[in-house]
């Protein structure tokens, strides 16, 4: 199945974003695979065949990344992490909400009807 630029995909068990689709590159060379970027590490992979990519929906993406999120009570830092590592990589998510609970002991991310919670560490 063809993937589009900006789409979230899984490659080797890692959440990635498609940056270039197969076709002619700036060098003039025609490439049959995709140029993708790992969302957490920023590592770039080029010429990845379609068969090696799996569509990554928002729930999969958040579940994969949530374990890397640590909440220390700094809500500005937490919000920045959520935005930088999840929100800007979720190209098909709707109804996103994130923030702390009223006493800052938990931080939540909600997409539609699914909520991820991280306790204060």
pLDDT tens digit string along 8-24? 899 998 889 999 888 88
| Cβ atoms < 10 Å from Cβ of 11 | 18
Q: Is the pLDDT score of 64 beyond 80?
A: yes
- pTM for the predicted model, two decimal places: 0.76
Q: Which of 39, 23, 40 is nearest to 31 (CA)?
A: 23
- Average pLDDT across the chain, whole number: 90
Three-state DSSP class for residue 60? helix
What digits encode the pLDDT tens for the residues 83-112? 988 888 776 677 899 999 999 999 999 998
Segments making up each domain of the chain, as ranges:
8-55, 58-119
Tell me the pLDDT band of 118, cut-offs 50, 70 and 90: very high
- Three-state SS at 84: helix
pLDDT at 89: 79
Instruction: Supply the pLDDT for residue 78.
Output: 97
Q: Which residue has the tokens 């931080």?
A: 107
Q: How confident is the model at residue 25 (pLDDT cuts 50, 70, 90)?
A: confident
Tokens of 14: 């890692």
pLDDT for the residue 1 = 65
């Amino acid at each position: 199945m063809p993937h589009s630029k900006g789409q979230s995909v899984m490659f080797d068990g890692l959440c990635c974003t498609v940056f270039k689709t197969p076709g002619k590159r700036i060098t003039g060379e025609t490439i049959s695979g995709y140029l993708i970027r790992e969302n957490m590490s920023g590592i770039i992979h080029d010429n990845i065949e379609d068969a090696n990519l799996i569509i990554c929906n928002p729930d999969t993406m958040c579940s994969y990344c949530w374990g890397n999120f640590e909440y220390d009570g700094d809500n500005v830092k937490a919000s920045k992490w959520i935005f930088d590592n999840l929100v800007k990589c979720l190209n098909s998510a709707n109804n996103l909400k994130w923030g702390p609970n009223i006493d800052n002991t938990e931080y939540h991310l909600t997409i539609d009807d699914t909520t991820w919670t991280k306790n204060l560490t």
